[in-house]
Amino acid sequence: MNISIKKIFKPFFTNTIILLLFIIMLEIFFGYWFKENNFGIYMRSERNKKELVTATHIDKEYNFFYKRNFYAFRGDNFEPSEAKIIFTGGSSANQRFTPEEKTIVGILNRKFKEEKFKFTIYNAATDGKTTRGYINDFIYWFPKLPNFKPKFFIFYSGITDRKLGSKNFDVESNKYDFKFATERINRIRDYIKNNSIILEAVKKIENKYFPKLVGVYAVAKEDLYNNFLYTNFLAAKNKHLDADLNANEKKLLQIFKSRLNKLKKIINENKIIPIFITQIKYDGLSEKNLFLVNQELKKFCKNNNFYLIPLDELTESMSVNDFYDEIHTSISGSEKIAETIYPSLKKIFEKNGYWFICLKIF
């Protein structure tokens, strides 16, 4: 009986060992375990993502795929060496629940393409990212990308940073600014998922045939526009500029300044051209914290001779339903913002020779 059992199980164990050896060899030669630019435990939640989204913007339903590619950028795959212009920010820049071509970045790319501009703007925004998240990207994410040497970085900033210094927000923002798990077991999980060629293949099959379904009803809050009044820059200046700062507001600006200075060092080290864009909410600048952050960002850009597009000053008004909540633009709002910042971006690219380069090609 024992001999019979051995005869039955011996081939099974032999084949199992052979299979394990095959898997190990496959992972060693084709996986990312020993490559210098492997992702380690960082960005796993943002890479190779494909979600089928059904979203209703105001009165129209959209069905589309929210995609983040192999390198964790929004959209389809591309070679990092091709990326010369990067757009980054939080959820208001990522616009997860908006079709890519109708996001601010998508609309800008369409407008530049219509004028035969050679380069594409790539979206590196992720939900909840603050200025600290920008810094972490240069430490943990971008060095992992082969031949990644962008010329311009566009920082769409203000909305997320306006809450700096708030205890609850600081705890919450850790998971958005640091794209890796805190628990050891989850870090091991993420390390395996980021480096395994087999799991990557499984993910590709899953994305192609079994994309995750996400249902979103992106419509303005029922009472969002009750008694709607847009506070433009002049009104906000009269309201906020000379008002005394309380302890929380002082803490906010202190943290924001510190992070901007750290970002400045990274900008200079990487020899990139930064372009900062201030932000607005659905009602403009009624919130003092956003006004303060925008003003501090303007000082920072002026003192360091960095490009600034003051969206908060250029936008005199927004209409009802241009935002579907306090901070996220609807499709009409995205169109207006893209239209507003496009001329300034074009001038900056022209000034730095990018526009003339593309005109010679076409």
pLDDT tens, per residue, the chain with 362 residues: 455 666 666 777 788 888 888 888 888 888 899 887 789 899 999 999 999 998 888 778 899 999 999 999 999 999 999 999 999 999 999 999 999 999 999 999 999 999 989 899 999 999 999 999 999 999 999 999 999 999 999 999 999 999 998 878 877 788 899 998 889 999 999 999 999 999 999 988 988 888 887 766 555 567 899 999 999 999 999 999 888 999 999 999 999 999 999 999 999 999 999 999 999 999 999 999 999 999 999 999 999 999 999 999 999 999 999 999 999 999 999 999 999 999 999 999 999 988 655 554 43
pTM: 0.92
pLDDT of residue 243: 84
C-alpha dist (Å) from residue 302 to 306, 308, 309: 6, 8, 11
Identity of the residue numbered 32: Y
pLDDT of residue 310: 98
What are the pLDDT digits (tens) for 95-147? 999 999 999 999 999 999 999 898 999 999 999 999 999 999 999 999 999 99
pLDDT of residue 11: 75
How far apart are alpha carbons 250 and 91 in whole angstroms? 25
Task: Return phi, psi of residue 19, to 5°.
Answer: -65, -45
pLDDT of residue 360: 44
pLDDT of residue 362: 38
pLDDT of residue 361: 40
pLDDT of residue 308: 98
- Backbone dihedral region of 72: left (phi > 0), alpha (psi from -120 to 50 degrees) or beta? left
What are the pLDDT digits (tens) for 335-358? 999 999 999 999 999 999 886 555
How far apart are alpha carbons 136 and 124 in whole angstroms? 13
pLDDT of residue 2: 53
pLDDT of residue 5: 62
C-alpha dist (Å) from residue 299 to 2, 152, 165, 236, 293: 83, 20, 20, 17, 10
Q: Are 31 and 197 in contact (CB under 8 A)?
A: yes
pLDDT of residue 7: 62
Q: Are 132 and 164 in contact (CB under 8 A)?
A: no
pLDDT of residue 358: 56
